[in-house]
Chains A and B, each alone.
Chain A
Amino acid sequence: MTTANQAAIERYRNNFLKEVEANVEEGHMVKMCMQCGVCAGSCPLGPHWTHSPQKIFMMIRAGKRDEVLGSDSMFMCTSCYNCMVRCPRQLPITHIMHGLANYAHRLGLAPKGQPTRDFATLFWNNLSKKGRVNELMLTLQHYFRNGLVAGIKEAMAMQGIGLGMFKAKRINPMEIFGGHGVKDLKGFHAIIAKAKEIEDRKKGFTA
């Protein structure tokens, strides 16, 4: 069985820009980049990640498929939109970054163990179960992602904030027993499934 990744490699042989244009949200705007450097210089997270948007766009044009789709950068984007409001070519940079993250994720090429990506996965799994975020479970799962000992340590460190949230009724201890959900749970799941089906069809993922 060929994977989605293999199929994409086969189809866009040596033309990664075309692949991005066809599969990534706002990917057709990548070629408008004139490499001025404003986005790279504007990104507050710039010093902390490997590839600025400017680099990513150049790498796409240079056909560096593995490096781009395996990059941690798209997952580090906080959607502050600093780059986007300043880009002299009005590239929807933030949207492209998220589009790339999504595409890499679907192809199974996104970096493993990347913390912001892991948290996003955790968040989605948590939310899609009941249609409401179970904040207690989300927090616990997040703290204990690296095992029991690390989890306890992290929980202790965050104790003050946790207690504050209990008092402010931002976290409900009863949520440990499954928590609240939307009224029509079956309908909610059907909507999500349908949305996924449409998106898969649009993006050419049959699996």
Chain B
Amino acid sequence: MTASIATNQTILVVGGGISGMTAALEAAECGKQVILVEKTPVLGGRTARLYRYFPKMCHPTCGLEINLRRIKQNRNIRLMTMTEVVSATGSRGNYSVTLKVAPRFVNENCTACGKCAEAVSAEVANPWNYGLDKMKAAYLPHNMAHPQRYVIDPSIVGTPEGEKAKAACPVGAVDLEMKEETVTLQVGVLVWATGWRPYDAAKIQPYGYGRFKNVITSLEFERLADPHGPTGGKILRPSDGKEAKNVAFIQCAGSRDENHLRHCSRICCMASLKQTQYVREAFGDEGKSTVYYIDIRAIDRFEDFYQNVQKDATVSFVKSKVARIAENAENGNPILHGVNTEGYQRYAVEHDLVVLAVGMEPEITGVKLPDDVILDSSNFIEGSKDQGMFGAGAAASPLDVNRAVQSATAASLRAIQVIRKTASTEAV
């Protein structure tokens, strides 16, 4: 099907994370027509899954809420959720984009009353907690979800569980006949705000992620600290549910490594510094964080954040890239082996829990892009040669929220310029 809603004056923003929301809003508030496409059922991207965010340690919901309100108020933005861009062809001012729209099985009539969730008993792994717990197969992704509309997991469609959900809905919003659709759009400019994904920690063989239960990623740690997470905000380790008071953070897990990601992911030093404060918040002086690092890169103006953490007596720093992790079979403690570069002492230290500060890689890997798109050596999007496509936020470079927003605003401005030029040539 070809949608007629878009023209070559339309800006297509791919990805509804903080960067995509920003890029869409900046252009829409300047009066441009924007289509915002998001792969998951909700806006917010990865930021929505953080517990707090540096530097001010506020909850991501505050920033999100403002942007969601702006989006709801704006008539120039057309939002498509559960929609994934699978390919794009064409050139500046004239792109043809193929979208795959997955069925939500719930239509616009949904009032988010939650009756369908009460009715079903089937459960699926919860992607918002990185699969650490389960959720009902009829669900609202999280409290802040926009759109506020439930989703029926495809696994129960065609089963009695699906029928239960349908029967429970007082407004007839559950539509189990929905099918996957393919949509082609013509647009003038593309902003890729597709963000990042964590590097697959299991590929870092000597660290034993996947083999040792108490070796987790920094993303999973965010969820452990979050009251909406699988442990209700308690830092409990996976093997035995014991409080993890002695936590090791391993920096550059998969980054700055020719065998994995070549680039420095830039945010993970700050993320670990931040997370040491989760440990302090949970256990006070009884908590203990140890950061194993090559060098601490507190990007840009965050050196003071680093200095404050250094003053915290519960946090210590070991200048060493950990060589390997073993497991104490009796108590499940991971044992870190390596050599401390400051003095060259060999160590073998036990901790309750190990957090791997995994790197960021572009989520775009795998999408078919036009030939003239320029990617850097790590697949981050620089843009197209003809300046008709732009990267924004973490799709363009490993950035924190603040810098992702700056990057998105810049991309949006460039997109507006392209639209203006296209419009003036057409007028001639």
What is the CA–CA distance of A35 and B256 in the complex, to the nearest angstrom? Answer: 13
What is the CA–CA distance of A90 and B262 in the complex, to the nearest angstrom? Answer: 11
The stretch that binds A, out of B55-63, B336-344, B369-377, B397-405, is B336-344
Interface residues of A, dominant DSSP: helix
In this assembly, does B257 line the interface, its C-beta being within 8 Å of a C-beta of chain A?
Answer: yes
B324 pairs with A36, CB closer than 8 A: no
Give chain A residues whose Cβ lies under 8 Å from the Cβ of B294.
34, 36
Closest partner residue, chain A, to B252 (CB atom): A88
What is the CA–CA distance of A89 and B341 in the complex, to the nearest angstrom? Answer: 16
In this assembly, does B71 line the interface, its C-beta being within 8 Å of a C-beta of chain A?
Answer: no
In this assembly, does A46 line the interface, its C-beta being within 8 Å of a C-beta of chain B?
Answer: yes
Asked if A37 meets B257 with Cβ closer than 8 Å, knowing A46-B346, A88-B321, the reply is no
**Cross-interface CB contact of A37 among B259, B260, B340, cutoff 8 Å:** B340
| Binary CB contact string for chain A from 30 to 43 against chain B (1 if under 8 A, 0 otherwise) | 00001111111110
A52 pairs with B344, CB closer than 8 A: yes
B323 pairs with A38, CB closer than 8 A: yes
A37 pairs with B339, CB closer than 8 A: yes
Q: Could you say which of A35, A36, A46, A85 has the most chain B C-beta atoms within 10 Å of its C-beta?
A: A36
In whole Å, how far is A54's beta carbon from the nearest beta carbon of chain B?
A: 7
What is the CA–CA distance of A85 and B344 in the complex, to the nearest angstrom? Answer: 21
B341 pairs with A35, CB closer than 8 A: yes
Chain A: interface residue count, which band? 20 to 34
Interface residues of B in 298-357 (CB under 8 A from A): 319-324, 337-341, 344, 346
In this assembly, does B286 line the interface, its C-beta being within 8 Å of a C-beta of chain A?
Answer: no
A38 pairs with B338, CB closer than 8 A: yes
| Binary CB contact string for chain B from 67 to 84 against chain A (1 if under 8 A, 0 otherwise) | 000000000000000000
A88 pairs with B256, CB closer than 8 A: yes
Q: How many A-B pairs fall under 8 Å by CB?
A: 60
Give chain A residues whose Cβ lies under 8 Å from the Cβ of B258.
87-90
In whole Å, how far is B90's beta carbon from the nearest beta carbon of chain A?
A: 39
In this assembly, does B206 line the interface, its C-beta being within 8 Å of a C-beta of chain A?
Answer: yes
| Binary CB contact string for chain B from 365 to 396 against chain A (1 if under 8 A, 0 otherwise) | 00000000000000000000000000000000
B259 pairs with A41, CB closer than 8 A: no
Give chain A residues whose Cβ lies under 8 Å from the Cβ of B339.
37, 40-41, 46, 52, 54
A37 pairs with B252, CB closer than 8 A: no
Give chain B residues whose Cβ lies under 8 Å from the Cβ of A106.
none
Interface residues of A in 72-101 (CB under 8 A from B): 85-90
Give chain B residues whose Cβ lies under 8 Å from the Cβ of A54.
339, 341, 344
What is the CA–CA distance of A37 and B338 in the complex, to the nearest angstrom? Answer: 7
Interface residues of B in 248-266 (CB under 8 A from A): 252, 256-260
| Binary CB contact string for chain A from 45 to 62 against chain B (1 if under 8 A, 0 otherwise) | 011000010110000000
B346 pairs with A36, CB closer than 8 A: no
Give chain B residues whose Cβ lies under 8 Å from the Cβ of A85.
259
A38 pairs with B321, CB closer than 8 A: yes
**Cross-interface CB contact of B323 among A35, A37, A55, A90, cutoff 8 Å:** A37
Given A42-B324, A47-B346, 6 more pairs with CB closer than 8 A? A38-B323, A40-B338, A40-B344, A41-B322, A85-B259, A88-B256
Task: Enumerate 28 A-B pairs (CB-CB under 8 Å) in ascending A order.
Answer: A35-B341, A36-B321, A36-B341, A37-B321, A37-B338, A37-B339, A37-B340, A38-B321, A38-B322, A38-B323, A38-B338, A40-B323, A40-B338, A40-B346, A41-B324, A41-B337, A41-B346, A42-B323, A46-B346, A52-B339, A54-B344, A86-B259, A87-B258, A88-B256, A88-B260, A88-B321, A89-B258, A90-B259
B-binding residues in A (CB < 8 A): 34-42, 46-47, 52, 54-55, 85-90
Complex A-B, nearest 4 residue pairs according to Cβ-Cβ distance, in ascending order? A41-B323, A41-B338, A36-B321, A88-B257
